[in-house]
Amino acid sequence: AQSVAQPEDQVNVAEGNPLTVKCTYSVSGNPYLFWYVQYPNRGLQFLLKYITGDNLVKGSYGFEAEFNKSQTSFHLKKPSALVSDSALYFCAVRDIVSGFQKLVFGTGTRLLVSP
């Protein structure tokens, strides 16, 4: 069965510093990987996805993520954090082999960017 682990409940970073939100996954075959962000009282907003090709994926709001097959990781990164990036971030995986559409989400990581 597919699963996602987000080992950090919260990440604290100062504005202007680089940020990393960690994600590791487990699937039976090759994964499709996604990052979503959730602001308070809002739905999930799509940030970026990895399907195939270049291991570094660029997405919305200056975020990027690096797919590492050997480490089964898909960490979210941003070179310079903004206070407005403070939110809850979810990593999700879909198993290509199964063909199912469902996304399996991690438990989420709260990002807190201080001024």
C-beta separation of 76 from 47 below 8 A: yes
Residues 80, 90: Cα–Cα separation, whole Å = 19
Among 17, 80, 107, 114, binds other proteins (CB under 8 A): 107
Closest contact distance (angstroms) between CB of 30 and other proteins is 10
Shortest CA distance to 85 belongs to which of 11, 3, 8?
11
At closest approach, how far in Å is the CB of 99 from other proteins? Answer: 6
Q: Which of 44, 6, 34 is nearest to 96 (CA)?
A: 34
Check binding of 96 to other proteins (CB under 8 A): yes
- Single out the residue of 27, 106, 111, 113 in contact with other proteins (rule: CB under 8 A): 106
Backbone phi, psi, residue 109, to 5°: -130, 125
User: Which of the residues 20 through 49 are near other proteins (CB under 8 A)?
Assistant: 32, 34, 36, 41-46, 49
Task: State yes or no: residue 82 binds other proteins (CB under 8 A).
Answer: no
Residue 85 or 95 with smaller CB distance to other proteins: 95
Element (H, E) at 68: strand 64-68
Residues that bind other proteins (CB under 8 A): 32, 34, 36, 41-46, 49, 51, 90, 92, 94-96, 99-108
